Amino acid sequence: MTEPTFAGQVSRWYEQHARDLPWREPGVSPWAILVSEVMLQQTPVARVLPAWQAWLDRWPTPAALAADSPAEAIRMWGRLGYPRRAVRLRECAVAIVERHGGDVPDRLEQLLALPGVGTYTARAVAAFAYGQRHPVVDTNVRRVVCRAVAGEPDAGPATRPADLVATEELLPVEPAAAALASAAIMELGAVVCTARSPRCGACPVEATCAWRASGQVAPAGPTRRPQRYAGTDRQVRGLLLGVLREATGPVPHQRLDQVWADDVQRARALAGLVTDGLVEPVGERAFRLIGDGPPAPVAG
Ligand code: SF4
């Protein structure tokens, strides 16, 4: 059978070549694995490593994080980017305490019901923390499956139900072997079958890869340009959040006015932080991280 051979080949490669990452160590808690999966979604491994360790040193359990404020979660998130993840992770910790007695649940439907836990994260925790058989599909996995099985260069921007089906068909029946294969396919996409320069000569499925066999025709149309950061609202939000993270109390409007000269863009960025639940007004002329201290007075 071709499909188990694919998983077997990639799994054997993984056992020999996988990166040595702390969340893959035996005995790592499901909570630690959940934190790693949330952090890794939009942030490179090298930046996640110290942040993950610091986070777990401070909050080794969901209950520990749930007992702290969302403001502290945003502070600890530091410069990992997309800080709404910090607030959602704390909400997730609260839900784990309230619904599951402080233990990360092991059933997929319970994981999917947690705040901030989507299709990918729920299956990743079920597979990597609990050794279950689920298709764990991120960008890297979609790319590998698309190339090696379908013979196409790119799987497109978003995970579709068909991607889950195509990946599940590749997994061994036995749950532990399936979980290993899921981690292995993901790793192959991260370090060998990369988007721009796949290293096919180092790939364990080179001999059977459909895209390789077809001559690796690159996709038609323009290649994706890297996203601009300088001058964007994202940059302004980051600057505002940096000031608020370092403050020990409400920050006066005048102090925030200093971080960016364009009044309109600065106001828009600040309003976005409030709308996203990261920042709250204190009275009419100051702001602070959400939940940073006693309840904010109601304006007006
Ligand atoms: S042979 Fe090349 S294109 Fe095919 S899966 Fe391996 S690295 Fe990717």
> Closest Cα to residue 55, out of 92, 90, 91?
90
At residue 286, the 3 state secondary structure works out as: strand
Cβ burial, residue 273 (10 Å; 0-12/13-18/19+): buried
Could you tell me the pLDDT band of residue 300, with boundaries at 50, 70 and 90? Answer: very low
Query: What's the rounded mean pLDDT across residues 255-262?
Result: 95
Q: Please report the pLDDT score of residue 297 as a whole number.
A: 61
Question: Mean pLDDT, the chain, as a whole number?
Answer: 92
Query: What's the rounded mean pLDDT across residues 80-86?
Result: 95
Taking 60 as the threshold, does the pLDDT of residue 298 lie above it?
A: no
Query: What's the rounded mean pLDDT across residues 260-271?
Result: 96
Query: What's the rounded mean pLDDT across residues 188-213?
Result: 94
State if residue 209 touches ligand 1 by the CB under 6 angstroms criterion: yes
- Cα–Cα distance between 182 and 176 in angstroms, integer? 10
- How many angstroms is it from 209 CA to the middle of ligand 1? 6
Cβ burial, residue 10 (10 Å; 0-12/13-18/19+): buried
Model confidence over 119-129: pLDDT tens digits?
999 999 999 99
Contact 108, 126 (CB under 8 A): yes
Domain that holds residue 266: 233-289
Lowest mean pLDDT among 149-153, 250-254, 257-261: 149-153
| Tokens describing residue 267 | 């106001």
Taking 60 as the threshold, does the pLDDT of residue 68 lie above it?
A: yes
Taking 50 as the threshold, does the pLDDT of residue 106 lie above it?
A: yes
Q: Please report the pLDDT score of residue 226 as a whole number.
A: 64
Query: What does the DSSP 8-state code read for residue 148?
Result: I
Query: What does the DSSP 8-state code read for residue 263?
Result: H
For residue 282, the domain's CATH number is 1.10.10.10
- Indicate which residues carry an active-site annotation: 37
Q: What single letter denotes the amino acid at residue 118?
A: G
Could you tell me the pLDDT band of residue 2, with boundaries at 50, 70 and 90? Answer: very low
State if residue 190 touches ligand 1 by the CB under 6 angstroms criterion: no
Give domain status of residue 294, yes or no: no
Higher-confidence residue: 298 or 144? 144
> Closest Cα to residue 93, out of 3, 31, 30, 186?
31
Q: Please report the pLDDT score of residue 230 as a whole number.
A: 84
Model confidence over 29-55: pLDDT tens digits?
999 999 999 999 989 999 999 999 999
Give domain status of residue 170, yes or no: no
State if residue 210 touches ligand 1 by the CB under 6 angstroms criterion: no
Q: Please report the pLDDT score of residue 140 as a whole number.
A: 93
Question: Do the bridges between strand 286-289 and strand 279-282 make them parallel or antiparallel, or are there none, so unpaired?
Answer: antiparallel
Give domain status of residue 276, yes or no: yes
State if residue 203 touches ligand 1 by the CB under 6 angstroms criterion: yes
How many domains, in total, are found in the chain? 1
Give domain status of residue 160, yes or no: no
CA angle 67, 69, 72 (to 5 degrees): 120
- Cα–Cα distance between 115 and 171 in angstroms, integer? 28
> Closest Cα to residue 147, out of 223, 208, 105, 101?
208
Q: Please report the pLDDT score of residue 215 as a whole number.
A: 86
Give domain status of residue 273, yes or no: yes
Q: What single letter denotes the amino acid at residue 254?
A: Q
Helix (H) or strand (E) holding 251: strand 251-252
- Cα–Cα distance between 27 and 23 in angstroms, integer? 9
Contact 152, 146 (CB under 8 A): yes
Give domain status of residue 252, yes or no: yes
> Closest Cα to residue 34, out of 50, 20, 26, 23?
23
- Cα–Cα distance between 9 and 203 in angstroms, integer? 10
Give domain status of residue 255, yes or no: yes
Position in ligand 1 atom list of the atom nearest CA 189: 8
Taking 60 as the threshold, does the pLDDT of residue 282 lie above it?
A: yes
Model confidence over 134-160: pLDDT tens digits?
999 999 999 999 999 989 887 776 778
Give domain status of residue 254, yes or no: yes
pTM across the whole model: 0.91
> Closest Cα to residue 116, out of 41, 24, 52?
41
Could you tell me the pLDDT band of residue 228, with boundaries at 50, 70 and 90? Answer: confident
